[in-house]
Chains A and B, each alone.
Chain A
């Protein structure tokens, strides 16, 4: 069974940093691109970042470019999102999601809440 479990969310002050993790199981992690998608309270879905299976290709939304860094460790079946210079507008539930050969995000984690507030 495919499972994605996010962790690392919490309350952080504006300008602070946080590192999210996503532990994957039930599939060959190293064969799939992975994504982070976020959802601000009461709002729609926003794609944040993607990383290819071997980390060769990395993409970011303009809203996080230069502040967030996506990475992965295929030996540990884990995906990460390092978030720096956090702003109030980064407050959201952050989901990791598997990319099914760029036809869809076919599996999602349960999400982890990041709150940026003083």
Chain B
């Protein structure tokens, strides 16, 4: 199975900050990586698919990059509504594993 490791697991930042979350795969997954945002009590929301393609309706301050084994999610200027937990997921091969999550909190 492909393991995904996110770093950091916890991030404290301020409104307006630029933040980057990394997702490393235990083996190459080409660009079969998605990023999700989840708020407490809510279902996950797709942000980025195919490593770098912004899902329709997602603000342009979110961006994704990477291929192979290393991927990043960047939020260029944090907004109050961005404080949430973020997950990466690989869809290169079954089982479709998730990273352990990165909790982004207000400093």
A and B: interacting chains: yes
- List the interface of chain A (C-beta within 8 A of B): 35, 37, 44-47, 50, 59-62, 95, 99-100, 102-111
Asked if B91 is an interface residue, CB under 8 A from chain A, the answer is yes
Contacts of B55 in A (CB 8 A): 104, 106
Establish whether residues B43 and A47, one from each chain, have CB atoms under 8 Å apart when the complex forms.
Answer: no
Can you name the residue of chain A whose Cβ is closest to the Cβ of B97? A47
Asked if B50 is an interface residue, CB under 8 A from chain A, the answer is yes
Number of residues of chain B lying within 8 A (CB) of chain A = 24
What would be 8 A-B contacts, judged by CB atoms less than 8 Å apart? A59-B94, A99-B91, A102-B91, A105-B36, A108-B43, A108-B44, A109-B43, A111-B43
Distance of B57 from chain A, by nearest CB (Å):
11
Establish whether residues B43 and A110, one from each chain, have CB atoms under 8 Å apart when the complex forms.
Answer: yes
Distance of A27 from chain B, by nearest CB (Å):
14
Given the known interface contacts A102-B32, A103-B32, A104-B34, the answer about A47 and B44 at a Cβ–Cβ threshold of 8 Å is: no
What 1/0 mask marks residues of chain B from 64 to 107 whose CB sits below 8 Å from any chain A CB? 00000000000000000000000101010011111111000000
- List the interface of chain B (C-beta within 8 A of A): 1, 32, 34, 36, 38, 43-46, 49-50, 53, 55, 87, 89, 91, 94-101
| CB < 8 Å neighbour of A104 from B1, B38, B89, B99 | B89
Could you tell me the distance between the alpha carbons of A44 and B45 in the complex, rounded to whole angstroms? 14
Establish whether residues A44 and B49, one from each chain, have CB atoms under 8 Å apart when the complex forms.
Answer: no
